[in-house]
Amino acid sequence: MGTVRTGIWRKRVGAIACAAVLCCGLGVIAGCSNGTDSKSADQGKTEQTAPEQATTRAFTDSAGREVEVPTQIDKIAPSGHTANQVLLTMAPDKMAGLSQELSASQLKYFDKKLADLPIFGAAFGAKGDMNKESVAASGTQIVIDTGEYKDGLKEDLDGLQAQLGIPVVFIETPLDGYDKAYEMLGDLLGMKERGAELGDYCTKAYNETKDTMAKIPESERVNIAYLLGDSGLNAIAKGSYQGTVIDMCANNVVVVDKASGSGAGNEISLEQIAVWNPDMIVFGTKSIYSKVGDDAAWAGISAIESKNYYEVPSEPWCWLNNPPTVNQIMGLQWLPRLCYPDKFDTSTQDVVTSYYKTFYNHDLSQADYNELVAKALPKK
């Protein structure tokens, strides 16, 4: 019995081996004769298993927050007036709305269709009047906040993001850091070339002024006061965020116990101005520039006596502050040329024309330029 079973078993094993060889051979033949179909099958498997293209990505903002943002951003909203101004230089065509209405004089530098955008208000600050329903209804994909980093900002941003259900990011914009700010905006909005263009301009302007001022001793810097208000009795104090340009380009005589961070500055008296006795005064818009020369109360002040006083241009925004944002890059080029005209190779008109073209894509005519700086240059 053992011999019979062994013989049967050997026959079965041989049959199985032959079948295996036959199948293998057929597989090889099929693979050789139908290579295209096999490749197509492999591609089909690849296509079926490939992940769909991501619609969001992680973005780390200037507050160190990692925010999930759309990969393609076409509609943006500013958190407030500072961001409104920065975003209008970067991506006006992506604006879903504005923080405040643009005046006729401001619209002169932009596409008129911006006048039709909804007005959202500002999320933060004294008013905190952002219309969150309007932001949501506009199709806004992301809200962008810019400016100075302050304590509590992270919590404010997280709170706004939770209320809106829309990503909210913060881009810090110090006067010496616009290259980084615009680089981040370029990455966020898929506009790296535009971000590099604006960032490079800011860096060049900042470094030119910084290097020039480094060669001017403190003793030779102009003693200056920046005065605001309809009576000229508000001042931008030394050390304030609003006074960064003044402090960098001259000797700001407005030294107070506590510098205000407000665009309205610190309230002062005419007697105090007389004590400071600045060699130059820059007045804000809607101040007393036009009548101060005939006001006897100001007659003894050096800047008024020598007619060395000016009014800062304010279109589309004030060149020195209020809000203290990228408009200060223009002030950073104008003020030192006003104070030390022989220290620069390029004229005020050169830099003004270049700034307006680069940031607003606006070609200033000679008449436009003359009107813009009518009160901002030495009197003839």
CATH 3.30.479.10 for domain 216-372: no
Mean pLDDT of 329-356: 97
Mean pLDDT of 160-168: 97
Mean pLDDT of 221-231: 97
Delimit the CATH 3.40.50.1980 region(s) of the chain: 56-198, 216-372
Report the distance separating Cα 315 and Cα 372, nearest Å: 7
SS3 93: helix
Report the distance separating Cα 274 and Cα 297, nearest Å: 10
pLDDT in tens, 47-102: 444 456 789 999 999 999 999 999 999 999 999 999 999 999 999 999 999 999 99
How far CA 195 is from CA of 155, 199, 371, in Å, comes to 28, 6, 30
pLDDT in tens, 10-27: 333 343 333 333 333 333
pLDDT in tens, 299-317: 999 999 999 999 999 999 9
CB count, 10 Å around CB of 357? 12
The amino acid at 361: N
Rounded (10°) angle between helices 178-189 and 192-214: 180
Q: What is the pLDDT of residue 53?
A: 77
Q: What is the pLDDT of residue 126?
A: 72
- Fold exhibited by the domain 56-198: Rossmann fold (3.40.50)
Rounded to two decimals, what is the model's pTM?
A: 0.84
Report the distance separating Cα 132 and Cα 123, nearest Å: 9
Contact 245, 321 (CB under 8 A): yes
